[in-house]
């Protein structure tokens, strides 16, 4: 069961889906291109090769190196990079 209960979760999910549809329609009507940032949380843009490199470091228990690499590639602070690495990207 979700945080608010199944019924409320279903209602929230339905509202979110409607909002996403409306935003997509607005974006399409304006002709705006939205960059694909779905490969990492929080919209941090990393190319697929970098994501695989960092995930390989995480899997190899080389978390410090992974955090350093995230910081090099994104310019994130230590806390943000650590959070990203701990999330598994």
* C-alpha to C-alpha distance for 69 and 64, rounded to whole angstroms: 9
The alpha carbon of residue 27 and the mean position of all alpha carbons in its chain are separated, in whole angstroms, by 20
Predicted TM-score (pTM) above 0.75: no
- At 7 the pLDDT is 74
Q: Among the ranges 12-16, 58-62, 71-75, which has the highest mean pLDDT value?
A: 58-62
> Please, which pLDDT band fits residue 9 given cuts at 50, 70 and 90?
confident
Average pLDDT, the chain: 83
* C-alpha to C-alpha distance for 27 and 18, rounded to whole angstroms: 14
Residue 74 exposed, middle or buried by CB count within 10 Å (0-12, 13-18, 19+): middle
Question: In which region does residue 61 sit, left (phi positive, over 0), alpha (psi from -120 to 50) or beta (all else)?
Answer: left
Asked if the model's pLDDT at residue 13 lies above 90, the reply is no
- At 1 the pLDDT is 47
């Amino acid at each position: 069961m979700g945080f608010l209960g199944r019924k409320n979760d279903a209602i929230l999910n339905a509202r979110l889906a409607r909002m996403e549809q409306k935003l997509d329609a607005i974006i399409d009507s304006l002709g705006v291109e939205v960059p694909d940032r779905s490969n990492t949380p929080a919209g941090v843009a990393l190319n697929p090769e970098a994501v695989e490199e960092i995930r390989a470091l995480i899997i190899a228990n080389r978390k410090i190196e992974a955090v350093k690499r995230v910081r090099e590639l994104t310019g994130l602070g230590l806390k943000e990079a650590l959070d990203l690495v701990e999330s598994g990207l």
